[in-house]
Amino acid sequence: MPTIDSTRLLLELRSLAAEAQRAPSIGSAGDVAGAGGANGSLDFGAMLKESLQQVNSMQRSAAELSTAFEQGQPGIDISRVMVEAQKASLAFRAMTEARNRLVSAYQDVMNMAI
C-alpha cells in the first residue's frame, strides 16, 4: 500500500489555499457594469463559461487519474487520486453554490415591485 507523503500534501493544500485567495482584479465600478466593453472590462458570461470549463476539466482529470489507478498504472498513488478527486468535488460544490445564489438573486429581482 502506498504511503501518503504528508509534506507534499500540505504543500499542495497551501498552494490551493493561496490560489483560492487570489481574486480577479476589478479596476472600477464601470468595469463590472460595462461587461463586454472593448477596454478590457470584466465579461460575466465569459468568466462564468471559463469557470464551468475549469470545473469540467478538473472532474475529467480526476476521473482519468482514478481510472489509471484502478488499472494499476505505475507512478499513480492513492493520495494523489484522492486529492484530485477532492479538488474536483470542492470546485463542483462551489460552482453549484454560486449557481444557487445567482438564481436566488434573479428571483429576488424578478419579485421586486416596480
Question: Mind listing the pLDDT tens digit for each residue in 53-64?
Answer: 999 999 999 999
Among 3-12, 31-40, 77-86, 102-111, the range scoring the smallest mean pLDDT is: 31-40
Query: What are the domain boundaries of the chain?
Result: 43-114
Torsion sign across C-alpha atoms 66, 68, 70, 76: negative
Size of the chain, expressed as the number of residues it contains = 114
pTM above 0.85? no
Cell numbers at 34, concatenated: 460595462
User: What's the confidence (pLDDT) of residue 14?
Assistant: 72
User: What's the confidence (pLDDT) of residue 27?
Assistant: 44
DSSP string, 60-73: HHHHHHHHHHHTT-
Q: How many helices (H) and strands (E) does the chain have?
A: 4, 0
Cell numbers at 106, concatenated: 434573479
Query: Is residue 102 very low, low, confident or very high in pLDDT (cuts 50, 70, 90)?
Result: confident
Cβ count near 85 (within 10 Å): 17
Question: Mind listing the pLDDT tens digit for each residue in 24-41?
Answer: 544 444 444 444 444 455
